[in-house]
Amino acid sequence: MVSFESLHIEFYYPSQKSKEYKKLRQEVTNEYGNITLILTLAFLTLIPIFGILNQRFVAVSEKLHFFRSINATLNRWIGSEKTDSGEMSFKVKTKRFFAIRAKNVLIFLAYNSRSLLLFVFLVSIMSLLSLSDSNNGDLIFVAKRVGKIPAVCFPTILFLSLKPSPLPHTLYLALLPLHKWLSRIIILQALLHVALFCGSFQRNGTWEKAWKKNNMYGWVPFIGFSIIFITSLSKFKNKFYRFFYFQHYLWTWIIVICLQLHIRPVKYSYYTAVNISILIAQVVYRIRLSQKTANAFDVQVTDVTPALQLVELPNYLITNKASNPGAHIRITEYNSSFVVRAFKQIIPYYHPYTLVSLPSDTTQKLIIRTGKFRFLNRHKYLAAGSYDSELSFTESKNVNSKFSIAKLKVKAKRILIIVGGTGISFALPILRISNYHGIPIKIVWVVHDYREIAVLKWFDGFIHGDDFEIFVTGSNSESNNSANNSSMLDNRNMSHIYTREEFDLNQQDETSPLLNDNIADVASSDNYDENVEISMDNEDSADDNDCEEMCIEDLSGSESGNDMNEEVPDALENLDPSIEDSPSNKFASSGKSFSRKTSSSRRTNLSKKSSMSTANEVFTPTLTSSSENAYRQLQRFKDIIKSLNIEHKIYKGRPKINYRYYNWCLYGGFTQCSGPVEGSDRSVVCCRDLVKPDSIQLPLKDIWVISAGPEGLVKNVKMWVQETGFNFHEESFRT
């Protein structure tokens, strides 16, 4: 039985060790090992139940106003973002100062609440198991215990890492935090086990015991655990992910073998059998799901930008058909050497990607952020999957049958999707099923390089302008740097980046929005600014006035030639033949129109509002070179966005997710100013006046906000959703 001893424990090393003492110590150690085993089995059994209860909790979370009420109070103390601090009294400034810092603490707790609760829960359980019945603080009792408990927990750690999870109604991703924190805690316990015995050897002058054969097998796991712990820390893992990944799998195998040889006097054979079975089962399952390309021409690759690729795969590579949209596949380059292929199965350095296509499509498309692993034409690849997604807002009847959108039941009545970068891979299949079922949907897509918008060309069959709002965060210098850093792409490749029919023959890794394995491989230069700002300020009439002024200025601008639809001037004949058509001579993002006739007053007016208004300026690209190639690329970009009917849905800067999006979720209606539009009576009106909201508010339980992409973006969206009470589903690159 677990006993609660006095909180005041004086730890000590025993001076003598009789046979009775050793027998008692072993019995207590075995008892707590058995208790740990029972608890881990019970916990694994309860995980699916916890998942179901969590979904039920999410459904009623709108009734829990504790967090939102505190945040609303702090917002009132902080005041409006437009308030001039010079007009505040000392008391108000002080109140605002502490309110801002209190809100920062609240945001931190909201962001990390689950991790903190999980950490506290696991530490409490492990501490209780480790320190109870310690023979009044006997450090050898404790040392034996903190060695036994990690060994018993090791099969559970491996089980939690299985992909996919064998637990019913449980997604592998949902178990990763538990796997991570339980692993870290048992590693610390294992290190404490070594430290306590080293202290005993030092105290008694018996260091020769440390080098006995059985104990030498214990030093190996100690080294392995130390390396895994250090390399799993976020900063190290992000910088040296390949090293972390390789060490993680290699040391797992070594530790499993060495534990069998080290643990005594009770045999560890049953646990070792379970550990090896889990590892082998994972390899066998991966081999069963793996399929190589039949020939080198089956995978077609198009470089959309220097940092983004569109990859098309044949359907036969998908061994396991998904039953939900948003599934992912794992891919590695096929090697003709059997030894290399076997090694990749044991230490599976596959790259996970989200399938943009649905299982019923003729081909499977991927949107890839290029890096150290880059897809090439005329290469063979090995694919494993697909691995199904677990969507909280859908119910699928496609299991064990041919996939059909009609067999998907969408529980949402309105969906807002906010994604960054290649998170669009997760948004597009959800867009398709929402359109099929008539669910109102809006996709807010944040990109760093506006040229990446052209990837939507490959999905033009279901892209509707009203469904999209695209925000470009890149600047001229950053866009140029992106081009300059892409020396592997020659001029011919760059001139064809928007041509689907031609596939170039001619690395940070792409990470699927569904997975958090390869965060370190994402090109940080392209993702650091793919984020959103959040606000829960009340509606401000000044914002609507800003929209009206923008529409009026757009009208005057269009009359003077300032129009996104304007053709690129035919200046090719006047080009200086000495200008080189190099990859660095590209066009970059800018708030200024391409037209030389852009009104300077309009630019000045909008720039003043940018720090005060929630309205984003409509984005138009600008040439940074007068080369023929640059002109052609700009015209291709304009042609693509015009054909997709999104030329007025592209904005400059980060989006502010605020009351407008809150109102859209409840009623529909207006969110971003896109300029003047033609009304039903053929008169020109402000875009805000054309979109009428619904008269009936949707229940919060029927509204879903979905986010995917860089972790910062997902966290901000999650914070906003927690304030509003909507349902939330996330897929993120988690470190």
Per the rule left: phi > 0, alpha: psi between -120 and 50, beta: everything else, 290 is beta
**Is residue 365 predicted with pLDDT exceeding 60?**
yes
Model pLDDT, residue 26: 92
Provide the terminal-to-terminal Cα distance of the chain, rounded to the nearest Å. 39
pLDDT digits (tens, 9 = 90+) for 201-223: 999 999 999 999 889 999 999 99
Reported as type and span, the H/E element at residue 732 is: strand 727-733
pLDDT value for 415:
96
Return the minimum-mean-pLDDT range out of 183-192, 332-341, 627-636: 627-636
Residue pair 485/306 in contact by the 8 Å Cβ criterion = yes
What is residue 442's three-state secondary structure? strand
d(CA 529, CA 654): 8
- Look at residue 185 in the predicted model and tell me its pLDDT: 94
Locate tokens 């690329």: which residue? 633
pLDDT tens digits along 648-667: 899 999 999 988 899 899 98
* Cross-strand partners of 314: 363
Task: State the pLDDT at residue 534.
Answer: 80
Residue from 439, 364, 363, 359 nearest 405 by CA: 359
Looking at per-residue confidence, does 567 or 699 come out higher? 699
pLDDT of res. 476: 38
pLDDT for the residue 27: 93
Closest CA to 709 of 478, 447, 335: 447
Give the model's confidence band at 112: pLDDT under 50 very low, under 70 low, under 90 confident, else very high: confident
> What's residue 566's pLDDT?
54
Q: Is the pLDDT of residue 402 over 70?
A: yes
Distance in angstroms (rounded) separating the CA atoms of residues 390 and 407: 15
Of 6-20, 116-130, 415-429, which has the strongest mean pLDDT? 415-429
Query: Which pLDDT belongs to residue 678?
Result: 65
More confident residue, 344 or 702: 702
Q: What are the angstrom distances between the C-alpha of 346 and each of 189, 249, 250, 253, 324?
A: 27, 8, 9, 9, 28
> At residue 599, does pLDDT exceed 60?
no
The pLDDT assigned to 3 comes to 47
* Dihedral angle, C-alpha 576, 579, 583, 588, nearest 10 °: -60
Residue 211 has a pLDDT of 92
pLDDT beyond 50 at 232: yes
Q: Determine the average pLDDT of the residues in 519-540.
A: 56
Mean pLDDT of the chain: 77
The residue with greater pLDDT, 482 or 414, is 414
How do beta strands 533-534 and 656-657 pair?
A: parallel
Confidence class of residue 349 from pLDDT cuts 50, 70 and 90? confident
Instruction: Kindly report, residue by residue over 259-316, the tens digit of the pLDDT.
Output: 999 998 888 999 999 999 999 999 999 888 899 999 989 999 999 988 999 999 999 9
d(CA 8, CA 10): 7
When pLDDT is cut at 50, 70 and 90, the band that residue 567 belongs to is: low
Judged on CB neighbours under 10 Å (0-12, 13-18, 19+), 620 is buried
Residues for the chain: how many in total? Answer: 735
- Which of 375, 338, 602, 313 is CA-nearest to residue 504? 375
Out of 433-437, 565-569, 711-715, give the one with best mean pLDDT. 433-437
Task: Give the pLDDT score at 298.
Answer: 92
**Statement: residue 524 has pLDDT above 50:** no
pLDDT at residue 172, rounded to an integer:
77
The predicted pLDDT at position 592 comes to 39
What's the pLDDT tens digit per position in 677-712?
666 666 666 666 666 677 688 888 899 999 999 888
Q: Do the bridges between strand 468-472 and strand 587-590 make them parallel or antiparallel, or are there none, so unpaired? A: unpaired
What confidence score (pLDDT) does residue 141 get? 94
Residues 6+ apart with CB under 8 A from 522: 369, 371, 421, 508, 509, 510, 511, 710, 733
Would strands 300-305 and 308-314 be described as parallel, antiparallel, or unpaired?
antiparallel
Q: Which residue has the higher pLDDT, 583 or 48?
A: 48
Give the mean model confidence (pLDDT) for residues 119-128.
92
Q: How confident is the model at residue 17 (pLDDT cuts 50, 70, 90)?
A: confident
| pLDDT band for position 61 (cuts 50, 70, 90) | very low
Q: What angle do CA 296, 297, 302 make, to 5 degrees?
A: 115
Provide the 8-state DSSP code for 369: E
How open is the CA angle 457-459-464, to the nearest 5 degrees? 90
pLDDT of residue 166: 87
pLDDT of residue 23: 92
Q: Considering only 74-78, 148-152, 230-234, 592-596, which range has the smallest mean pLDDT? A: 592-596
Residue 87, pLDDT score: 65
User: From edge to edge, which strands make up the β-sheet containing 363-369?
Assistant: 300-305, 308-314, 363-369
pLDDT for the residue numbered 552: 56
Q: What is the pLDDT of residues 239-251, one digit of tens each?
A: 888 888 888 999 9
Is the pLDDT score of 568 beyond 60? no
| Predicted local distance difference test score (pLDDT) of residue 636 | 87
Q: How far apart are CA 333 and CA 509, in angstroms?
A: 13
pLDDT of residue 138: 92
* 347 in Cβ contact with 248 (< 8 Å): no
Q: How far apart are CA 266 and CA 232, in angstroms?
A: 31
> How many percent of the chain have pLDDT more than 90?
34
- Which residue would you say has higher pLDDT here, 343 or 556? 343
Q: Is the pLDDT of residue 441 over 50?
A: yes
**pLDDT score, position 47:** 86
Q: What pLDDT was estimated at residue 548?
A: 58
pLDDT recorded at residue 431: 94
Nearest CA-CA partner of 196 in 380, 13, 442, 456: 13
3-state secondary structure 187-217: HHHHHHHHHHHHHHHHHHCCHHHHHCHHHHH
